[in-house]
């Protein structure tokens, strides 16, 4: 039998989100993040990225997708609350989806911000 996972209180969740994941919020038992996209192409890229990370982590969020946004909701079902698994996966999702090549220097330029034909994520 697996060890019981620590479930965080609402106050602890709020403090950790403020410190570690400021674009995430706690609502109705879940930590949540809405990623705004420029359209269907960006939405599919975010959904596929989150899906890959979730499957690799073996920890699966609820995902709502529309034409220009993706909402990710995390909660550990077996623990009936938010655990370290949720914070860890949220950090990885945030890191990968929000990555902006070209902002750190280096050889990768990133998508052209001046040409909306190539825009796909609305960065915070």
Identify the pLDDT of residue 123.
Answer: 81
Tell which residue, 39, 61, 36, 66, has the closest CA to residue 50: 61
- Encode pLDDT of 62-83 as tens digits: 999 999 999 999 999 999 999 9
Which residues, at least 6 apart from 78, have a Cβ–Cβ distance to it below 8 Å?
2, 5
- Encode pLDDT of 93-109 as tens digits: 999 999 988 787 889 98
Identify the pLDDT of residue 120.
Answer: 81
Identify the pLDDT of residue 104.
Answer: 75
Identify the pLDDT of residue 1.
Answer: 43
CA-to-CA distance for 50 and 32, rounded, in angstroms? Answer: 13
- Encode pLDDT of 19-67 as tens digits: 999 999 999 999 999 999 999 999 999 999 999 999 999 999 999 999 9
| Segment 10-17 mean pLDDT | 98
Identify the pLDDT of residue 65.
Answer: 98
94 in helix, strand or coil? helix
């Amino acid at each position: 039998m697996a060890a019981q996972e620590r479930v965080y209180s609402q106050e602890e969740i709020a403090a950790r989100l403020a410190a570690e994941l400021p674009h995430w919020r706690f609502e109705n038992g879940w930590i949540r993040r809405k990623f705004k996209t420029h359209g269907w192409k960006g939405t599919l890229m975010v959904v596929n990225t989150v899906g890959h990370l979730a499957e690799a982590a073996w920890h699966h969020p609820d995902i709502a997708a529309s034409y220009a946004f993706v909402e990710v909701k995390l909660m550990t079902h077996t623990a009936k609350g938010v655990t370290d698994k949720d914070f860890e996966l949220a950090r990885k999702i945030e890191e990968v989806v929000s990555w902006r090549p070209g902002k750190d220097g280096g050889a990768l330029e990133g998508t052209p911000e001046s040409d909306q034909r190539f825009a796909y994520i609305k960065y915070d």
